[in-house]
């Protein structure tokens, strides 16, 4: 749904700019819309297979982060699972 919306938005902006006689910004809008639609999600949308988190003890990670305030979740997981 998100990809379709971004493609439509980019093409609509390109069509509007092309109709106004601005071919260069129209091409930039079309390319930006297609680039945004094709981006790989970075945070929040990344699927995590259930077996990837099987060995992680949530309480141990929380305790590690409480004892090491500057530690990230990734560092805490690595430290508590001995990876």
Average pLDDT over residues 25-34: 81
Q: What DSSP state is assigned to residue 49?
A: -
Q: Note the pLDDT of residue 68.
A: 93
Please indicate whether residue 50 or residue 83 has the higher confidence score (pLDDT): 50
Distance separating alpha carbons of residues 74 and 27, to the nearest angstrom? 40
pLDDT digits (tens, 9 = 90+) for 51-63: 666 778 889 989 9
User: What is the CA angle 74-35-49, rounded to 5?
Assistant: 35
Residue 34 neighbours by CB under 8 Å, 6+ apart: 7, 10
Per cent of the chain over pLDDT 70 is: 75
Instruction: Assess contact for 10 and 29: CB atoms under 8 A.
Output: yes
Per the structure block, which two tokens stand in for 1? 């749904």
- The pTM for the full model equals 0.41
């Amino acid at each position: 749904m998100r990809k379709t919306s971004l493609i439509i938005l980019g093409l609509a902006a390109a069509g509007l700019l092309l109709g106004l006689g601005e071919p260069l910004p129209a091409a930039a809008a079309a390319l930006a819309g297609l680039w945004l639609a094709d981006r790989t999600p970075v945070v929040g949308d990344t699927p995590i297979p259930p077996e990837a988190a099987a060995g992680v003890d949530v309480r141990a990670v929380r305790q590690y982060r409480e004892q090491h305030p500057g530690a990230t979740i990734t560092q805490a997981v690595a430290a508590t699972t001995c990876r």
